[in-house]
Structure 1
Amino acid sequence: MRHAETVTFGGSALDRAGEMRGDAAALKAALADPNTRAVVFWRGKPLIHRARPASLCRVPMDHPMLQGAMADAVLLGREDGAARFACDISHWMPEDLDADQLGGFLDPTEQRHPDAPEDSVFAELRRIMTWLSPRDAELAATGKAIFGWHDIHNFCAQCGAKSDVAQAGWQRNCPACGASHFPRTDPVVIMLITHGNSVLMGRSPGWPEGMYSLLAGFVEPGETLEAAVRREVFEEAGVRVGAVSYLSSQPWPFPASLMFGCQGEATSREITIDPVEIEDALWVTREEMMEIFAGNHATILPARKGAIAHFLLENWLADTLD
């Protein structure tokens, strides 16, 4: 697709400053530079200016919120020549925290730090991703993904010893056996499967009522993207797929996926779902999808804005998949 990188979390051309990650002197200078800023996270939620248009907060490195968080700051890159770090303050505990409301499909809660800039809150990225500019979205997705990786990789996978953060947050080294570990990204195919004038849609158990999306699944070791598309569609819906082509990709830090958007031509139409994999699947005509996108369908909701499924379906409807 000629405009593939206009998908959410793509296309900001961030300078990731990879050459700085192992340069102790450059990192020390960047941390002391008055132009350097930090993007702040709490339990995976980025700090944003709430007023529309919403924007990602960038605070000075000596900001009171960052006390106790500097040791594990992650270098995200550079903006206009100045370094940008991500800092995690999940050790902070809001006084009015209601734990029962956290962690839903689209966590609606917002947390306000007493030292945070005016009108700023911590908000769930999945909920606010379309509010942000491409650059803000990329910075937020990168920071969330890296901190999510650190949260579950504190120990060496080879020997079990506690590992140490290195390379400005982009590596963990084991002091016991010398192994090095790097951030993980899981490849996932998400498929725009068409048959004539219809597209194949499905829903997973536990999704909100009326929510359908394109079929998707993890790529297995030793498997091409094309093979993964055919296998996943047949496993989930019993539909055979012929020609497969790549369309676009999207980083998806929920928690650590890279979504490969693909188009496939179905060679069969009969649906036989695997109830372990999905709850339902159906063919939706182009005319029905237009009604769904307009919010006028009786039973099916539009795909969530910001997700690559919405992006692919929107371009299918507009005939701009080339």
Structure 2
Amino acid sequence: MPQPANPEPVHDHDAMLSRKFGKEVANYFSGSPLNRVGFLRGDHKFLSQALNHPSTKFLLCNDLQPLVADKAGDKLAYVKFEDVQKVVGKDPYDTTEEAMLSSYDSGAYMPQMIFLGIDEKSKDALSFTNKKNTHTGAPYFAIDVTPKKSVQAECEKLIQELKGRGLEFATGRVMDIVAADAAIYAEARQLLDWNLRNPFCAQCGQPTLSVNGGFKRTCPPKDLSRTASKTTSGISNALPTTGIQPTDASERPPCATRKGISNISFPRTDPTVIMAVINHAGDKILLGRQKRWPPYWFSTLAGFAEPAESIEEAVRREVYEEAGVHVGRVVIHSTQPWPYPANLMIGAVGQAIPEGEKIDLGNDPELDDARWFDFGEVREALRVGTSGLGEDAGPEYKEGGLRLPPPTAIANQLMSSVVNGFANGVAKM
């Protein structure tokens, strides 16, 4: 399947910064067409109207895989509220957040739902006035329809109905849908995944409740399941570490997260550096490969940033640990959201110091090989030897030649920029 194009960068109106540093680079999974209007996530009046509005679109995910059209599979497929009403059930936003907390029941399963934002270019969209400002757009939600617990039968029935319409859920890593849809899916996947991974309070271990349109989790002071548990078992619900007996059967033991402003848990994003490292002479680029990759396949080095470490320091440390090369100057090139599961790839270009170019793989067994490649060889590989892992290269590729990641990967964008003049100023970003 042909690789989708990357999103167009923000129009800069001949900005001063673009004239000096070059055009902004936009990578795959970025460039969402939605305005996230984060300040409306806690407004249940807005969310309730958005949920039931005719212009609203729902992206369904099954085991975190998005619904797509099965013929081409290059675009997301959306459904209406009436399609998912039996799965979602009663409008969860027809009450206040305070009421949700007071009536919280950890034993009652509710499919995870995420408010993604609004498409302000949509016609016949929802118009909502918040304080003094009116916001108009088609609302977008993501819903987890993985068949399980109390909604298993309804989810299975819905999935079969969707198949009858020629729709199916994508498989594998979703890297072949159009750029705008990829950005919407990235937001949906990362938030659904985060909620799935964080069902309990990190301080007291009790179940948590998803609030704020799916962007926060809170530890409610009460849980109606505790009442049922105490009634049927006659066993105290107090945590053994506290020794405090609640006065209400549904009341939970004290939790530090309910004090002050620390009563919520936010989604995590893991900063990850990925870098194109050039030699001191400026005519070679350092690439590495992992054992699990196909033959002849190389890419730029990458790794997680550590606590109390700048991006520049993370680049130098990762390159030294993985390849033994010492890097001097580091500049930021561009960034890429990566929802597998929650990374922000921070692309950088670094240059080795003259006495630090010798490759040594003895520090870290992560790499199977690392080499310095001439710019010309990389340019040719970018032309004929790119593809997704497990996919064939272009028709001009000759066996034994260098293989590289596709244009939708930030590694490809870094290499392209470097070998086409970014480092020496011949060509801008």
Q: Does TM, scored on the shorter chain, surpass 0.5?
A: yes
Secondary structure at the counterpart of residue 213 of structure 2: helix
Give the structure 1 partner of residue 8 of structure 2: none
Match 1:284 to one of 365, 373, 377: 373
Q: Which amino acid aligns with 2:374?
A: T
Runs of 4+ in 1 over 4 A off after TM superposition: 68-71
Task: Identify if the C-alpha distance between structure 1 residues 156 and 205 changes in structure 2 by more than 3 Å, giving closer, same or farther.
Answer: farther
Distance 1:315 1:232 in 2: 21
Q: Note the 1:9-88 alignment, pairs <5 A.
A: 9-52=29-72, 54-64=74-84, 67-68=87-88, 71=110, 72-79=112-119, 80=122, 81-88=137-144
Give the structure 2 partner of residue 147 of structure 1: 192
Distance 1:62 1:155 in 2: 31
Secondary structure at the counterpart of residue 247 of structure 1: strand
Distance 1:231 1:66 in 2: 52
- Shift of the alpha carbon at 1:130? 3.7
Gaps of 5+ in 2: 1-20, 92-109, 123-136, 222-254, 386-396, 422-426
Give the structure 2 partner of residue 99 of structure 1: none
- Shift of the alpha carbon at 1:122? 1.1
Identity within the alignment, %: 35
Q: Which is higher, the Rg of structure 1 or of structure 2?
A: 2
> Is the CA contact (8 Å cut-off) linking 1:129 and 1:137 kept in structure 2?
yes
Give the structure 2 partner of residue 234 of structure 1: 320
Give the structure 1 partner of residue 277 of structure 2: 193
Q: Note the 1:121-160 alignment, pairs <5 A.
A: 121-124=168-171, 126=173, 128-132=174-178, 134-160=179-205
Q: Note the 1:205-244 alignment, pairs <5 A.
A: 205-244=291-330
Task: Identify if the C-alpha distance between structure 1 residues 253 and 125 changes in structure 2 by more than 3 Å, giving closer, same or farther.
Answer: farther
Distance 1:314 1:189 in 2: 17
Higher relative strand content: 1
User: How far does the alpha carbon of each residue in 1:140-178 deviate from its partner, in whole angstroms, 9 at most, with x for none?
Assistant: 000011111111111111221111100010000012522
* TM-score, normalised by the number of residues in structure 1: 0.87
Give the structure 1 partner of residue 338 of structure 2: 252
Secondary structure at the counterpart of residue 146 of structure 1: helix
> Is the CA contact (8 Å cut-off) linking 1:191 and 1:264 kept in structure 2?
yes
* TM-score, normalised by the number of residues in structure 2: 0.66
User: How far does the alpha carbon of each residue in 1:195-225 deviate from its partner, in whole angstroms, 9 at most, with x for none?
Assistant: 1211111122323333321100111111100
Distance 2:70 2:24 in 1: 28
> Is the CA contact (8 Å cut-off) linking 1:65 and 1:115 kept in structure 2?
no
Task: Identify if the C-alpha distance between structure 1 residues 210 and 11 changes in structure 2 by more than 3 Å, giving closer, same or farther.
Answer: same
User: How far does the alpha carbon of each residue in 1:62-119 deviate from its partner, in whole angstroms, 9 at most, with x for none?
Assistant: 215872488421000001301000011112689xxxxxxxxxxxxxxxxx93211633
Matched, 1:184 2:184: no
How many residues end up aligned between the 2 structures? 303
Q: Which amino acid aligns with 2:213?
A: A
Please identify, of 68-77 and 176-185, the stretch whose mean Cα deviation from structure 2 is larger.
Answer: 68-77
Distance 1:167 1:84 in 2: 15
Secondary structure at the counterpart of residue 55 of structure 1: coil
Secondary structure at the counterpart of residue 144 of structure 1: helix
Q: Which amino acid aligns with 2:198?
A: H
Alpha-carbon RMSD across the aligned residues, in angstroms, is 2.3
Please identify, of 55-64 and 38-47, the stretch whose mean Cα deviation from structure 2 is larger.
Answer: 55-64
